[in-house]
Structure 1
Amino acid sequence: MKKIILTTVIVLLSIFNNAKAQTGLNFIGRTFDYQIDNFHLNLEIVSDNQAKWTYISAPNNETGKTAVENCKIEEISHGIYKIYWTEKDGSNVVDIFNLNSNEVFVAFSLPNNKLYNYKTSFKIISEKSENMLPIEKVNFKSNNQNVVGLLCKKDNKKKKPAVVILGPICSVKEQSPIQYATRLSEKGFVALCFDARGYGESEGQPRQFESLKNKEEDVRAAIDFLISRNDVDADKIFVIGICNGTNEMMQVSIDDKRIKGIALVSGNYLIKENMVDLLGNEKIWDTHLQRAKLAKEKFEKTGEVEYIKITDSIGNEQLLPPLPIYEWYHPWENKAPYFTYRGGWQNKVTAMSELETLNFDALSVAKKISKPTLLIHGEMSDGGYEYAKQIFNSIPTQNKKSVWIDKTVHFQFYDDPRVIGQAVNEISDWSNQVN
């Protein structure tokens, strides 16, 4: 059956290739309207691997039926695109669109091996503006578990440098990471942010387990995903850590040869003195650590997971006691339907998570970094300049640069377009100079 479809496709291609080519033709982002027998349908090319079809009118009460298909798209000649997929019932569909002549050839085989071929004209009823930024939801595997990310890129004109972005502790992709991904894509990057395993839309148990080791694995898997794409220059892979994400990115960069350079943005560096300051005093630090040990022992013996709050307006038992942190994150707890775009942030984390975060030694890791490094920090970022300068001075490579932004608080690196814009400009300019 596949041979029959392929033969028919080849015949149609020979006809289509005689059409006069036009320039400036785009395929992704357009919606095509056409009629096949008694079926009037629209086909929206959502991304380079997804298409959505809708029956505008159809027999057998199927009017309005719609589905999103995982598809493959190939430009087989200038202005001629092949899109194909397999539907849930096993039907195979091949559409060939000739944008030079506004014709479409449709071939599909049903599970009973019946083959149908149609050739008809189409009209384009909508298309995304070239100035619109495509944000594509993507999936990839990390340690055999599904990770959900957001991929941002400006166009498909050539292979581009790519960047993986890892956000603050317990964050989701819809928070600060997407702010950097969208802006970096405007600078010519293929930019990827994602929900780490155990968070948001990604798989992983226990939920809300803050594991530096797991996140490092996720970053490596994200790099695997990027270099498998034909729009990414595999020799130009960069990583960016924001806040706590700086720690994992430093660790990953040490031995992953695929990483060209690392950018550290407003890092909350896991240095004991910094964490003691964050929690309040050394007694609180020790209380948190002992609680984490007991929670880990309980989990290993019984499988029961203990949770603590990430932020709160009172007390010091939460993961992050400072009140400004609570004030920034509190609105993200609102789960009203009109706030679903904010993603799946939850104000809880496994108590055993602190066994990793409080025992991590960021200074020891920094001393092993040999990759080109850019460090950006605000005067009132976590730990002020003191701990960030300790990190910067510990990095042995000579190919490093620091940017110190006065009168800037930590959360401006999360949501202030002026500060994020400045950071992105610095990252873009620096990456262009990395050899």
Structure 2
Amino acid sequence: MKHERVTFDSDGATLVGNLYLPDTTAGPVPGVVVAGTWTSVKELMADRYAQRLAGYGYAALSFDFTGFGESEGEPRDVENPARKVADIHHALTFLAAHPAVDRDRLAELGICAAAMYMADNAAHDPRVKALALVAPWLHDATICEATYGGADAVAARITTGREARARYDETGEVDYVPVVSTTDPRAAMPYDIDFYLNPARGGVPAWPNRFAVMAWPDWLTYDAISLAPQITQPTVIVHSTDAAIPEGASRFHASLAGPKDILWSQGTQFDFYDQEPQVTTATDTVAAHLRRHLHH
């Protein structure tokens, strides 16, 4: 496998990525854009999956979204679904123009929250020939209410987010809380999640563990499940009933318009980020899906 540190433009921001290429001279190869959880940087799980896919013969691009990690963009660390979908679109444009990549054989892999953003782009981007979602977080208003403590709790977060946005617009100051914390009840995920807090796993220096409060309205009103009927590309989902919101994956899968497959595997949500056998099960399944639909 070969590795290139790359940059590309996304609506005026320079994004930084890692392009992993198979060690082959057999002409242009299919390309895959890979992205991970909300608030994540490429080092958390996208790099791992991209490296694995390069081993299967694909040109795989992981990157930092606008305002995250090494990429440009202000304000920093704001979970903005529309902006992330646009970044994915530009990442595909970069891949399509790369000399090692066959521009007619492009695919997307989304892990956790990036499943929503990859699905959104696939619904509107005919360049995407195959879609793969691993441990996908796929929500709509019903699931958000069930996940975040009911309609009143969701409304309270949205209000808090709008107030934070107004403060930013007025003062330029961003109100941050931790993404994950065992002690701060304002955290986006106020739980003891080893993956994010363990420096040997996801608690790496590149990931600042901060959530911009102004992001709550866009996140909580985003409806990824309604996109499924617009997705005609062959889609595979790898999930577990012990992982995050399996109901969302089931409903999304049922509504997909194109060829579809779903593998119900074993493991928690966080196992799919960096643990075995979950990562190998997922990458084997994704690679088999891409072989079926990208090789003509």
Per the TM superposition, whether the score is higher than 0.5 is: yes
- Counting aligned pairs with the same residue, the percent is 28
**2:211 aligned to which of 349, 362, 368:** 349
Correspondence 1:432 to 2:294 = no
**How far apart in 1 are the matches of 2:150 and 2:178?**
19
**2:221 aligned to which of 359, 377, 387:** 359
**How far apart in 2 are the matches of 1:357 and 1:381?**
20
Amino acid at match of 1:357: W
**2:12 aligned to which of 137, 144, 153:** 144
**How far apart in 2 are the matches of 1:192 and 1:200?**
15
**1:219 aligned to which of 88, 98, 107:** 88
Q: CA deviation at 1:233?
A: 0.7
Instruction: Give 1:252's aligned residue.
Output: 121
**How far apart in 2 are the matches of 1:286 and 1:318?**
17
Residue pairs, 1:116-131, within 5 angstroms: none
- What are the superposed Cα offsets for residues 320-343 of structure 1, whole Å, 9 maximum, x if unpaired? 23x24x332112499xxxx9xx45
**How far apart in 1 are the matches of 2:188 and 2:53?**
31
Residue pairs, 1:12-91, within 5 angstroms: none
**How far apart in 1 are the matches of 2:144 and 2:86?**
24
- Structure 2: where are the runs of 5+ without partners? none
Correspondence 1:190 to 2:50 = no
Which of the two has higher C-alpha Rg? 1
**How far apart in 1 are the matches of 2:276 and 2:22?**
19
Instruction: Give 1:381's aligned residue.
Output: 243
Instruction: Give 1:181's aligned residue.
Output: 50
- What are the superposed Cα offsets for residues 359-399 of structure 1, whole Å, 9 maximum, x if unpaired? 0011212222121111111121101x3221011112122x1
Structure number with the higher helix fraction is 2
Instruction: Give 1:329's aligned residue.
Output: 196
**2:136 aligned to which of 256, 261, 267:** 267
- What are the superposed Cα offsets for residues 272-325 of structure 1, whole Å, 9 maximum, x if unpaired? 23333333343332221110111122222333321122111145421123x24x
User: Structure 1 stretch 417-426 or stretch 232-241: which is displaced more?
Assistant: 417-426
Q: Structure 1's 333 and 147: CA in aligned 2 closer, same or farther, altered over 3 A?
A: farther
Matched position secondary structure for 2:198: helix
CA contact (8 A) 1:279 1:320 kept: no
Correspondence 1:208 to 2:77 = yes
Amino acid at match of 1:394: S
- What are the superposed Cα offsets for residues 197-218 of structure 1, whole Å, 9 maximum, x if unpaired? 1111111000111111111111
Instruction: Give 2:255's aligned residue.
Output: 394
- What are the superposed Cα offsets for residues 387-418 of structure 1, whole Å, 9 maximum, x if unpaired? 21011112122x1111111x311111100132
**How far apart in 2 are the matches of 1:284 and 1:315?**
17
**How far apart in 1 are the matches of 2:7 and 2:74?**
18
- Structure 1: where are the runs of 5+ without partners? 1-132
**How far apart in 1 are the matches of 2:229 and 2:260?**
13
- What are the superposed Cα offsets for residues 106-136 of structure 1, whole Å, 9 maximum, x if unpaired? xxxxxxxxxxxxxxxxxxxxxxxxxxx3222
**How far apart in 1 are the matches of 2:85 and 2:122?**
10
**How far apart in 2 are the matches of 1:179 and 1:328?**
14
**How far apart in 1 are the matches of 2:47 and 2:200?**
18
- What are the superposed Cα offsets for residues 212-248 of structure 1, whole Å, 9 maximum, x if unpaired? 1111111111111111111101111000110000111
The alignment's TM-score, normalised by the length of structure 2, stands at: 0.93
User: Structure 1 stretch 274-283 or stretch 246-255: which is displaced more?
Assistant: 274-283
CA contact (8 A) 2:178 2:184 kept: no
Q: Which structure would you say has the larger RCO, counting Cα contacts within 8 Å and 6 or more residues apart?
A: 2
Q: Structure 1's 314 and 287: CA in aligned 2 closer, same or farther, altered over 3 A?
A: farther
Q: CA deviation at 1:156?
A: 4.3
Amino acid at match of 2:197: H
Q: Number of residue pairs matched? A: 293
**1:418 aligned to which of 269, 273, 277:** 277
**How far apart in 2 are the matches of 1:364 and 1:316?**
31
CA contact (8 A) 2:176 2:211 kept: yes
Q: CA deviation at 1:428?
A: 1.1
Structure number with the higher strand fraction is 1
**How far apart in 1 are the matches of 2:61 and 2:261?**
23
**How far apart in 2 are the matches of 1:215 and 1:316?**
27
The alignment's TM-score, normalised by the length of structure 1, stands at: 0.64
Matched position secondary structure for 1:434: helix
